[in-house]
A and B are shown apart, each in its own frame.
Chain A
Amino acid sequence: MSTEAPTEPRTRVHYPAPIEAAIARLIPLLHGEYGLSARAVALLLLQGDAEVERLVRAQEGERAAAIAGVVAEIEPAFSGPLSYVIGLARQAAADRIAGRTASPPTRTRGGFAEWLGRAMMRPLTGLPILLIVIYFGLYQFVGVFGAGTLVNLLEGTLFDKHINPWVTAAVTRVLPWPVANSLFVGEYGLFTMGLKYAVAIILPIVTTFFLVFAIIEDTGYLPRLALLTDRVLKRVGLSGRAVIPMVLGFGCDTMATMVTRVLETTRERVIATLLLALAIPCSAQLGVILALLAGWPAGLAIWAGVVGLVFLLVGYLAAKLMPGQPASFYIEIPPLRWPAPANVLVKTYTRLEWYLAEVLPLFLFASVLIWVGQLTHVFQWAVTVFTYPVQWIGLPRPAAVAFLFGFFRRDYGAAGLYDLAQSGGLTPPQLLVAMVTLTLFLPCVAQLLMMSKERGWRTALAMAAFIVPFAFGVGFALNATLRLLRI
């Protein structure tokens, strides 16, 4: 390539005459520094780009009015918006170039990929496929392998046997006072609980989930799932696109709440955030719940049924109450393809990196909160407060601690209930009621903070204010129903 000054591009898009005339009139008026050619700026102005309009107003001073005048003048000359007309001209140019240089494939992609892709898009075949994906991807890989094998390895062997005792000894030597060292290595210490929780328990579960998600994402399955679920999601005020944060929510609700950014309207984002906080259990929770209720399939079914019902009902009501336009749905369906290992690893790594940077500190912060809470006896007071609604839904008083913990560590709350059940403190129906209520209960501290960040603290607070009584309300109803049916 020569190093001479750039010449006129060989391929230029020619727009309809009135637009070219307007561009010619605009170019002499544009004196400022934009980092773009004057023609590009003129075109952006005609398309109504808000950002460029702002720059032009700032840079052109008294010429800005004349510029706006030129744009306003040619708008009525066309039956559609200018951005549309310009877009059409570009499309035509692109077609011409493609026509000269590329030829369409003579044979349409047939074969297994095509067949499978189509099967995924029809409800009759798509639903069984979804169930298979859930079983192998979620239950087996994330649940059994991630939450079971990996967690046991990291928590039981690595932390409990090796790291924790060593750190505890070291810290107690440096800080012999119980108040100080309990912050770091006490029962809920920064290291013994906060870090262990984040690294030994959540990290393996979330890693396995991100891995599975990246594989599914790379194959092109998600858009097909989106089109299958669009009609159902429309009933709860969302569109098929919301399937992406919803599915992510089964891995980590905090990340999913951040991902609600991909949704178009604020209305969709708010409804999705609410449903994620209320009815989508994250993988940490799922792991424990599956382990606990595995021996009682009917209980598992009831749990899933109640949570699913809550999802649909609350979503439906939220959609009715929230003002705004209903969501529209459009998504490109890529051809089905084998996932590329490099892609999968990069995606997993990126998400993990985000997780370590954003979420891990929050769990450390939670440890500090509990430490402070215990010192000031606020913690104990909070437990006492919780005993009331807990008893009201038919559970014994010790269950209150589990709920409070459920806020800081979702699985700790569930595990606390497990211990209670094992020691005979909870009957199976009580366990079921507790599980359902815990699932619906306040999101974990990390998620709540993410909700405040994404939707504003007022909205997050309003959601929390709704969720807590609602969760206990459902627990009450379930308890009453179970009593009525079982006794």
Chain B
Amino acid sequence: MELSERAEEALEELWLAEERGESFASADAEPAVAELAAAGLVQRREDSVSLTPVGRAEARAVTRRHRLAERLLADVLDVRPAAVESVACRFEHVLARGIDDKVCALLGHPKSCPHGLPIPPGPCCEDNEHSPVRLVASLAEMEPGEQGRIAYLHPRERATLDKLMAMGAVPGAAITLTQRFPSFVLQVGQTQVAVDSDIASSIYVRLAGSAPPRRRRRWGRLQRG
């Protein structure tokens, strides 16, 4: 459905409020809220506004586009961190339905935005679709010989972050994958390190000279779903 930009912003705020467990009450957003209520996406209750199921799905999609946009700007287009937020706000409205999935695949299905907030996954993430051109991929998805610079880290646990830092695997570091089996062996700067697939899937690399991924048989789980 076609919503005004203001209404989409309001949906995002509602989603964020739900994520944080706060209630949404904003008088400035009145016209937007009115529009959403008319479209059946929110319902008013006493002094707070909450999403209807349909509204929640729509808010999810809007948030997804926004955070994907942030990732694209930060990781690939190298926009300054201060500017990412404001540019993404306008960029997201351009990412119409369908294109967001393509951007998601391009970025290797990122799980979180640069601020650390989760990106609601889309159908492309479940199927783990490969785009014909990959710009960002997790180490677990790379082929031996591929190299690039680490774009960001998405570890499952905080402790892994310290380990990765100790290895020198920090955003911006040059990294090459030398081996996949039986363990992942990578070269970070002058250091050679071996890790298992769990840690390998925490490291997201901006590939240098993007080559299309070869069709590869999956030996068990490669990437956490």
Contacts and interface: CB of A to CB of B under 8 A. Distances in A.
**Chains A and B form a bound pair:** yes
Contact of A234 (B115, B191, B196): B196
Residue with the highest number of chain A CB atoms closer than 10 Å, among B182, B183, B190: B183
B193 A333 contact: yes
A144 to B, nearest CB: 32
A226 B194 CA distance: 9
A331 interface: yes
Contact of A330 (B158, B163, B171, B190): B163
Interface string A74-100: 000001110110011001000000000
B190 A104 contact: yes
B170 interface: yes
B198 A231 contact: no
A53 interface: no
Contact of A331 (B114, B161, B181, B193): B193
A330 B182 contact: no
A97 to B, nearest CB: 14
A328 B160 contact: yes
B208 interface: no
A226 B182 CA distance: 10
A230 B161 contact: no
B30 interface: no
Nearest to A231: B182
Contact of B168 (A91, A123, A239): A91
Given A87-B170, A227-B183, A228-B182, A331 B194 contact: yes
A240 interface: yes
Given A91-B168, A227-B185, A333-B192, A328 B198 contact: yes
A237 interface: no
B170 A329 contact: no
Given A81-B161, A226-B194, A240 B116 contact: no
Interface in A45-80: 79-80
Contact of A80 (B160, B161, B195, B196): B161
Contacts of A4: none
Given A227-B185, A332-B191, A81 B171 contact: no
Given A79-B116, A91-B170, A227-B183, A329 B199 contact: yes
B116 A227 contact: no
Interface in B164-185: 165, 167-168, 170-171, 179, 181-183, 185
Q: Give the contact-size bracket for chain B.
A: 20 to 34
Contacts of A240: 183, 194, 196
A96 B151 CA distance: 19
B110 to A, nearest CB: 13
Contact of B165 (A87, A104, A122): A87
Contacts of B194: 121, 223, 226-227, 230, 240, 329-333
A123 B181 CA distance: 8
A339 to B, nearest CB: 19
Q: Name B's interface SS.
A: mixed
Nearest to B113: A79
Contacts of A335: 192
B161 A88 contact: no
A190 B45 CA distance: 86
Q: From A80, A83, A104, A223, name the one whose CB has the most chain B CB atoms within 10 angstroms.
A: A80
Contact of A84 (B115, B165, B181, B196): B165
A333 B170 CA distance: 18
A81 B165 CA distance: 12
B191 A329 contact: no
B165 A79 contact: no
Interface in A314-333: 328-333
A91 B173 CA distance: 10
A332 B183 contact: no
B162 interface: yes
Given A87-B170, A91-B165, A230-B182, A79 B115 contact: yes
Contact of B183 (A79, A80, A91, A329): A329
A475 B185 CA distance: 42
Question: Most chain-A Cβ atoms within 10 A of its Cβ — which of B168, B179, B182, B192?
Answer: B182
Contact of A83 (B162, B182, B190, B195): B162
Interface string A219-235: 00001001110110010
A327 to B, nearest CB: 9
Nearest to A123: B182
Contacts of A333: 185, 192-194
Contacts of A331: 193-194
A177 to B, nearest CB: 62
Contacts of A105: 190
Contacts of B182: 123, 227-228, 230-231
Nearest to A91: B170
Contact of A332 (B165, B179, B193): B193
Interface string B24-60: 0000000000000000000000000000000000000
Contacts of B199: 328-330
Given A81-B161, A84-B161, A231 B183 contact: yes
22 contacts: A79-B116, A80-B116, A84-B161, A87-B162, A87-B170, A91-B165, A105-B190, A226-B194, A227-B185, A227-B194, A228-B183, A231-B183, A234-B196, A240-B183, A328-B196, A328-B199, A330-B163, A330-B193, A332-B191, A332-B193, A333-B192, A335-B192
Q: Which are the 5 A-B pairs with shortest beta-carbon distances?
A: A79-B116, A227-B194, A329-B196, A227-B183, A333-B192
Given A328-B198, A328-B199, 5 more contacts: A83-B161, A87-B165, A228-B182, A231-B182, A329-B194
